[in-house]
A and B are shown apart, each in its own frame.
Chain A
Amino acid sequence: MASRGSRIVEFRFGNFVASLIWLILIVLIIVSLAALPLIFIVLFYAPLPPINGQVLTPYLFLSMMVDPTRTLPVLKFIMHTELFRVAVFPGFSFAAIFAAVTIFVERKFLAKMQLRVGPLYAGKIEGILQLIADGLKLISKEIIIPSGADKPIFWAAPIAFVAASAAVISLIPVAPGWVVSNTDVGLLAAFAILGFFPLIALLFSWASNSKYPFIGGLRALHQMIAFEIPFILSALSVVILSGSLNLTHIAAAQSPYWYIFFLPISAFVFFISSLAELERIPFDLPEAESEIVAGWLTETSGMIYGLLQLGTYIKLYALAALFVTLFLGGWAGPQIFPQVLGPPGPQSPLIQLLTLRPIYNPIIVNDVFWFSIKTFGIIMLMLLPRGINPRIRIDILLHTGWYKLIVLSFINMFIALALVYGGVFGPGGVLTPH
């Protein structure tokens, strides 16, 4: 107990030991009552491989975790399970990290263009922890639902938004074999999922029961529908050239030359349409701040707003990755990673362990690296118009989307057809890889 008038709290050894014991007790309770059963439940349902002729029981698994020389094969196994793919690597966490880095880079990038500094104080270096600060702030805010709002839709729409964005992620191949769902109609599935977004925007704005979201929702509907057609048509030229709707095949078919050299107009149309789908400036009418307060996001607050922002940036990554897959060759790039990290030839197990030899695959790492670089470049290009352009008006937007872009994508489709019939692409073509 601090004495009256002094600001120094006295150190009592007894209290210190008591708090330590409390801490150990609470950790033990949590581990034994919650963590351990959870691990066992997961291991019960996850398919466990036989290692060295022995079925991997949970106890064996836990003991292997402690032994480093056996951890790596288990890790390698885990990396090839479905859960890992969906949740971590080409799936949600990868996209979320990309989204987080994008948000931060966007703020800094825009700030430099506008002759200011951007986030500076959160974190020691140039405000790098700003996102965590924003996330904590959003979590701690109260979620206010307007009276008369349709509560089920109001709660469900942001989650549906994030889910739809994440669903597009699941189709994108990051490296050959590393895709969450390798369907033969991958491109078509991507467009089908993208067709959900106008619906979600409209439902959410209607459920907000207020005038400004209503206007914003209608604008979002008009905008997204108007730009879906040039979007699909420009991707159709790629399908004509590659002969397949499977995204992995499309990316693999570009190994001699990237499609952007043959289809520059389509790439341009695809880029503009994806800016419109993402509601980025100059196409951010549905959230036009000075006219309709915040458009269809007006009534969002707290974590609902956070989820919508997360969904928006994941969608940004998804569409940029789609652009890279369709036009920029996916993961193609010169091999710059060495065959083994560290000294080559047979080495002692410790060196093998430290240089990650069991799980290191130079080709895959190289593909992932080039894919990330290209996607990041396209994301930066999508961030650029925000610092340069004002907002467009709805009638100019619809005129552009329905007239000009459709005509342009048709032009490139004819070029693509000419290339196929001329024997450059297509089955038995000159540039088709075998």
Chain B
Amino acid sequence: MSTEFSNETLKKDSSNSGLQIVKESEEDRLMTLSVGPQHPGSGHFRFTVKVDGDYIVHCDPDPGYVHRGEEKMCEYRNFIQNIPHLERPVIHDSNNITYSYSLAVEELTNIQVPRRGQFIRAIASELNRQVYTLYWLAIYGIFLGHSTMFMWPTGDRELFIDLLEMLTGARVTHAFNIPGGVRNDMPVGFSEKCLRNISYFEKRLVEYENIFYNNPLMRQRTEGVGLLTKEDAIKLGVTGSVLRASNTPYDIRKAEPYDVYNEIDFKVQYMKSSDCFARAYVPLLDMRESCYIMRQLLDKIPQSGEVRAKLQPNPKGPAGEAYRRVESGRGALGYYIISDGTPKPYRVKISVGSFRNMLALPHLLVGAKLADMPSIYWALNYWPVEADR
């Protein structure tokens, strides 16, 4: 029986005890946590992390819990019938996900949208962007533990949901954009109410900054955390506010203006610091800019005109394909539609911002502390239902 201990194994030769201590392997030190679908910090999404003490060494995303087969369902319905189920992936931002689809279908079927319809589409898109970004901000606050920042944006969202209800009839899933324009016109009094709500909201944004963004604890938790350099951001192909927080001023409304955005004067908001704080702050800047855009839209909208092009019962176009994109709350939302001359599309591929941003999650989480996990994860502007489609 040896009396010296080696690092490798310590075996006792006595037959009745059978004690055996082996050197601890790397795998034994790690603890696997499943930040699963039943977790207050994940949404409808699961990712497993392996932690070594407090540091994360491996992350594996596992989406698909709310996969509905949107793309397959599109092939069974004609172009107009696809609108209601296509807006379900992001119910909060439903006007943007159907906007991109409508643009692609209009390109395929040679429909020309009347001017007033284009303006109303843009107004609805901006309103939806506010709604989504406020909801995102509320969840970000609660992930950091800030319950007031959860309640305030959720309450202020009602301003815009009221406007959207006045405009479309529904609070979240509007089914408002169709290929050819919008379903119905703005009601009387909408412009005044919209301007009033925007003025009130702009004052509230100042209060958000005071309580949340200028809070030293929030800054300590988000500044310097989850650095995503510009080269990495471009290489990973992220989009939206994540990209703009990494010193890349790219916004589809400016780079490839669609509808009436070439007549609107606004600046692309971006930040240089590329950490979680920048990813949390860029949406606030976007919201402020969006208020400014809405004021211009309400100012320039033609006072009368149709809002929807007259369509044949089953609109169809020649065989071809179209790829159009729109800047939604999470980034570039692209539709690739292949048509074969029938009223139903042959293939619809949706390229969503959340799916593209998911690639940054393992990249950023490895090497981060476990306490930073919710901060990094939600700052990537990831909406689980949209990524699953």
Residues of A in contact with B (beta carbons under 8 Å apart): 110, 113-116, 211-212, 215, 281-282, 284-285, 288-291, 293, 386-396
Question: Is residue B362 contacting chain A, with contact meaning CB distance below 8 A?
Answer: no
- Determine if A393 and B143 form an interchain contact, defined as CB atoms under 8 angstroms apart: no
Q: Which of B172-180, B213-221, B336-344 contacts A (4 or more CB under 8 A)?
A: B213-221
The 10 sampled A-B contact pairs (Cβ below 8 Å) are A114-B151, A114-B152, A288-B371, A390-B144, A390-B215, A392-B220, A393-B372, A394-B369, A395-B371, A396-B221
Which of B33-41, B64-72, B126-134, B238-246 binds A? Answer: B33-41
Measured between beta carbons, the chain B residues less than 8 angstroms from A115 are: 151-152, 155
With contacts A290-B41, A290-B374, A291-B373 known, is A391 near B152, CB below 8 A? Answer: no
A289 to B149, CA, bound (A): 15
| Residues in chain A near residue B262, CB distance under 8 A | none
A9–chain B nearest beta-carbon distance, Å: 45
Bound CA span A355–B31, Å: 68
Whether A281 lies near B145 (C-beta < 8 A) is yes
- Pairwise interchain contact B40-A387, C-beta atoms closer than 8 A: no
On whether the beta carbons of A293 and B371 are closer than 8 Å, the reply is no
Within 8 Å CB of B212, what residues of A? 390
Task: List chain B positions with a Cβ less than 8 A from chain A.
Answer: 31, 33, 39-41, 54, 141-149, 151-152, 155, 211-212, 215, 217-218, 220-221, 369-374
Q: Besides the contacts A116-B155, A391-B144, A394-B54, what 7 more A-B pairs have beta carbons closer than 8 Å?
A: A115-B151, A285-B371, A289-B145, A389-B146, A390-B146, A390-B212, A392-B220
- Closest chain B residue, CB of each to CB of A282: B217
Contact status A290-B145, CB under 8 Å: yes
Which has the most chain B C-beta neighbours within 10 Å: A113, A281, A391?
A391
Given the interface pairs A290-B40, A291-B373, the reply to whether A393 lies near B147 with Cβ below 8 Å is no
- The reply to whether A390 and B31 contact each other, CB–CB distance below 8 Å, is no
Return A168 CB to nearest CB of chain B, in Å.
27
Known: A291-B41, A291-B370, A291-B374. A390 touches B149 (CB 8 A): yes
- Which residues of chain B are within 8 angstroms of A395 by Cβ–Cβ distance? 369, 371
Q: Interface centre among A114, A291, A395, by most B CB within 10 Å?
A: A291
Chain B nearest CB: distance from A387 CB in Å?
Answer: 5
Bound Cα distance A284, B146 (Å): 11
A410 CA to B156 CA, complexed, in Å: 46
The interface residues of chain B lying within 8 Å CB-to-CB of A388 are: 148, 211, 215
Query: Do A391 and B145 touch (CB < 8 A)?
Result: yes
Cβ-closest 10 pairs across A and B: A391-B145, A290-B41, A390-B146, A114-B151, A390-B144, A290-B143, A290-B374, A393-B371, A390-B145, A387-B148
From residue A109, how far is it (CB to closest CB) to chain B in Å?
Answer: 12
CA separation between A114 and B371, bound complex, in Å? 25
A212 to B370, CA, bound (A): 12
Q: How far is the CB of A219 from chain B (nearest CB, A)?
A: 9
Report the minimal beta-carbon distance from A384 to chain B, rounded to whole angstroms: 11
In angstroms, Cα B371 to Cα A282, docked, is 14
Chain A residues near B221 (CB-CB < 8 A): 390-393, 396
List residues of chain B with CB within 8 A of the CB of A394: 54, 369, 371
Bound state CA distance, A392 and B374, in angstroms?
13
Q: In the complex, are the beta carbons of B147 and A386 less than 8 A apart?
A: yes
Residue of A nearest to B54 (CB): A394
Let me know if B215 and A393 touch, CB within 8 A: no
Residues of the A chain whose Cβ atoms lie less than 8 Å from the Cβ of B218? 390
Taking the closest CB of chain A, its distance from the CB of B309, in whole angstroms, is 43
In the bound assembly, the distance between CA atoms of A2 and B363 in angstroms comes to 72
Among B33, B148, B220, B374, contact of A114 (Cβ-Cβ < 8 Å): B148
Whole-angstrom distance between the alpha carbons of A396 and B223 in the complex? 13
Closest residue on chain A to residue B377 by CB atoms:
A290
- A211–B212 CA distance with the chains assembled, in angstroms: 31
Contact across chains for B151 and A116 when beta carbons are under 8 A apart: yes
Bound form: Cα–Cα A293–B33 in Å: 12
Among A113, A116, A284, A291, which residue has its beta carbon within 8 angstroms of that of B371? A291
Nearest A residue to B218 by beta-carbon distance? A390
Q: Which residues of B contact A386 (CB under 8 A)?
A: 147
Distance in Å: Cβ of A205 to nearest Cβ of chain B: 14
Looking at the assembled complex, report how far the CB atom of B175 sits from the nearest CB atom of chain A, in whole angstroms.
31
Closest chain A CB from B43 CB (angstroms): 11
Q: Which residue of B lies closest to A294 (CB)?
A: B40
Contact A387 B147 (CB under 8 A): yes
Q: Which residues of chain B are within 8 angstroms of A393 by Cβ–Cβ distance?
A: 220-221, 369, 371-372
CA of A211 to CA of B49 in the docked complex: distance in angstroms?
A: 13
Contacts of A289 in B (CB 8 A): 40-41, 142, 145
Flag if A288 contacts B155 (CB, 8 Å): no
CA distance A281 to B146 in the complex (A): 9
**CA separation between A387 and B155, bound complex, in Å?**
15
Which residue of chain B lies nearest to A391 when distances are taken between CB atoms in the complex? B145
**B41 CB, min distance to chain A CBs, angstroms:** 4
Q: Which of A215, A293, A389 contacts B217 (CB 8 A)?
A: A389
Nearest CB of chain A from residue B374's CB, rounded to whole Å: 4
In the complex, are the beta carbons of B220 and A396 less than 8 A apart? yes
Residue of B54, B144, B149, B371 with highest tally of chain A CB at under 10 A: B371
With both beta carbons as reference points, the residue of chain B lying nearest to A290 in the complex is identified as B41
A116-B155, A289-B41, A290-B40 in contact; A282/B148 too (CB < 8 A)?
no
Which chain A residues border B373 with CB–CB below 8 Å?
A: 291
Structural contact, A288 and B145, CB atoms closer than 8 A: yes
| B358–chain A nearest beta-carbon distance, Å | 19
Query: Which residue of the partner chain B has the closest CB to A387?
Result: B148
Q: Please, which residue of chain B has its CB at the minimum distance from the CB of A395? A: B369
Shortest beta-carbon distance from A108 to chain B in Å:
14
C-alpha spacing A329/B67, complex, angstroms: 63
* Complexed CA–CA distance, A215 and B151 (Å): 28
Which residue of the partner chain B has the closest CB to A110? B147
Closest to A285 in B: B371
Nearest-Cβ distance from residue A275 to partner chain B, whole angstroms: 13
Q: Which of B147, B152, B221, B374 has the most CB of A within 10 A?
A: B147
B-side contacts of A387, CB under 8 Å: 147-148
Closest Cβ–Cβ distance, residue B148 to chain A (whole Å): 5
